[in-house]
Amino acid sequence: MSNKFNANALTEYSKSYARRIASDFFQHQATISGKQILSLTPINQINLFVISSLSDKWQADAAKFRSPYFDFADADVQEALQNFMNVVSQHISVRREHLEPLLADATRRTIIMIFDPRAYFDDLLRGQPEFTLTADALKQIIRYTKINQFIPAHIMQRMNDKLFVYANQALVFLDEALTQRGHELEHYDKFVALFSEKLPMDISALLRSHIPDSIPAAPLRSFFDTATEPTVPPAPLVATETTVTGVFDGTGISTPAIPPQPYPTFSTKETDRSASTGGAMFLDGDTGPDPVSPISQPSQLPTIDHTQPAIIDNSQPTSSFDTTPTLNDTLRGTISDEPATVAETFHRAPIESIARSISLNQKFRFINQLFNGASSAYNQAVEEIDTLNNYGQALDLISYRYASQYLWDMSSDEVSELVEILKRRFS
């Protein structure tokens, strides 16, 4: 959680606010419906977070229907189960003892999003399963994000129709959004007033220090697909001098079609993207675009003053690029052109399987030094690498995912040995 908050004060306020809201509502009613949850508090983000939690539980319950004794891949079974779950979703009925914990958590998450959006989205991205942000997961995030929605919308744009990106790539896109459009962050004052209508909010007690003024309809559709649907369709994103229409990807969410751009060049005329719902139904068969391996981050070019003539000193070698190697550059070190010995030639011979080419001693060292002693993580990494098609994909995987996730020492013998094995596997 963000270190801007007094953790105990944040937890206590969230529980007290949820208790006050629940007490007012359940004073005359025993249960609450989905539509009533959408207007439960004056802060729409809290209501959406509660609906999001119910949606997660709805999906988990749907998974429980699966059984090894029946063919759940059959089209008739999928259709019947989907219709059943969608009908069930239209009859939400939650008692106070079950709602209040969800409401307290939604309140806590909303407060963090308001006062420290960078920390909120950072935690959200780092907490994605397998350190990977999928397009489907991001669509769900956008659907249930009301405050500062331009942040996940920017990440969606930068994914450029990829099926997934690794979490640390998404964090780069997060920083881009905050750098380029930080002035669009919603100010906390109006939310403090809304919270205080039910329960006075003492900012000085809630935060470690006061935040400065500037803070960088088809039949049988699911309730969760329609709960956040806007009354007015969102306008498509517009590129420079070109109107770009949205494309329907089969999941029910209209994703703006963004023309690909060179990596360091970003449009400064982006408009906010509103949440578009009617998203992926249960057991959606659409797999989306094929995954594309993430690219390495390019070195930054130095800025040049074009108002003065360039003076080139031919007596010294010059370079316009930063000479500091990136993580991927380190992994992509070239093989020496010197003649190889017989032993070196043997050790560079192509191999068909990474798992079978790693000795028992190497395996223990890789597990302990590269995967923090987690043999399951090591086995998963080896199996995943063996399914890749080329050396570039393998380097991207270990640099963007495993090296970042487990904080590898790139100068260690274990990393060097693993890179050599990759070279032999994909030579």
pLDDT in tens, 143-170: 999 999 999 999 999 999 999 999 999 9
Q: Give the SS3 label for residue 133.
A: strand
Task: Answer whether 388's CB lies under 8 Å from 394's CB.
Answer: yes
Show the beta-strand stretches assigned E in 19-175: 31-32, 94-95, 132-134, 164-166
Element (H, E) at 243: strand 242-243
Residue 260: per-residue pLDDT: 47
For residue 386 the two structure tokens come to 């063996």
At a CB cut-off of 8 Å and minimum separation 6, what does 407 contact?
Answer: none
Please check the confidence at residue 294 and state whether its pLDDT lies above 60.
no
CA dist 151 and 145 (Å) reads 10
| Nearest one of 421, 385, 379, 416 to 400, comparing CA atoms | 385
For 95-106, what is the mean pLDDT?
Answer: 96
Residue 359: per-residue pLDDT: 86
| Nearest one of 212, 165, 156, 143 to 4, comparing CA atoms | 212
Q: Each residue of 63-87: b (16+ CB within 10 Å) or e?
A: eeeeeeeeeeeeeeebeebbeebbe
Residue 351: per-residue pLDDT: 75
Residue 67, amino acid: S
| Nearest one of 283, 196, 274 to 20, comparing CA atoms | 196
CA dist 147 and 227 (Å) reads 16
Please check the confidence at residue 94 and state whether its pLDDT lies above 90.
yes
Please check the confidence at residue 52 and state whether its pLDDT lies above 90.
yes
Q: Give the SS3 label for residue 53.
A: helix
Give the pLDDT band of residue 394 (cuts 50, 70, 90).
confident
For residue 200 the two structure tokens come to 């006075």
Give the pLDDT band of residue 68 (cuts 50, 70, 90).
confident
Please check the confidence at residue 58 and state whether its pLDDT lies above 60.
yes
Residue 196: per-residue pLDDT: 95
Does residue 124 come out as left (phi exceeding 0), alpha (psi in the -120 to 50 range) or beta?
Answer: alpha
Please check the confidence at residue 388 and state whether its pLDDT lies above 70.
yes
Residue 305, amino acid: D
Please check the confidence at residue 266 and state whether its pLDDT lies above 80.
no
Task: Answer whether 109's CB lies under 8 Å from 120's CB.
Answer: yes
- pLDDT tens-place string over residues 200-227: 999 999 998 655 544 444 445 666 666 6
Residue 95, amino acid: R
| Nearest one of 91, 169, 122, 83 to 4, comparing CA atoms | 122
Task: Answer whether 257's CB lies under 8 Å from 171's CB.
Answer: no
Task: Answer whether 145's CB lies under 8 Å from 274's CB.
Answer: no
Please check the confidence at residue 102 and state whether its pLDDT lies above 50.
yes
| Nearest one of 191, 27, 26 to 103, comparing CA atoms | 26
**Length, in residues, of the chain:** 427
Instruction: State phi, psi for 345 to the nearest 5 degrees.
Output: -65, -40
CA dist 29 and 234 (Å) reads 35
Residue 215: per-residue pLDDT: 46
Q: What is the DSSP letter of 84?
A: H
Beta bridge partners of 243: 238
> Pick the residue with more confidence: 196 or 411?
196
pTM for the model? 0.56
CB atoms within 10 A of CB 233: 11
> Pick the residue with more confidence: 248 or 415?
415
Residue 274: per-residue pLDDT: 40
CA dist 128 and 4 (Å) reads 23
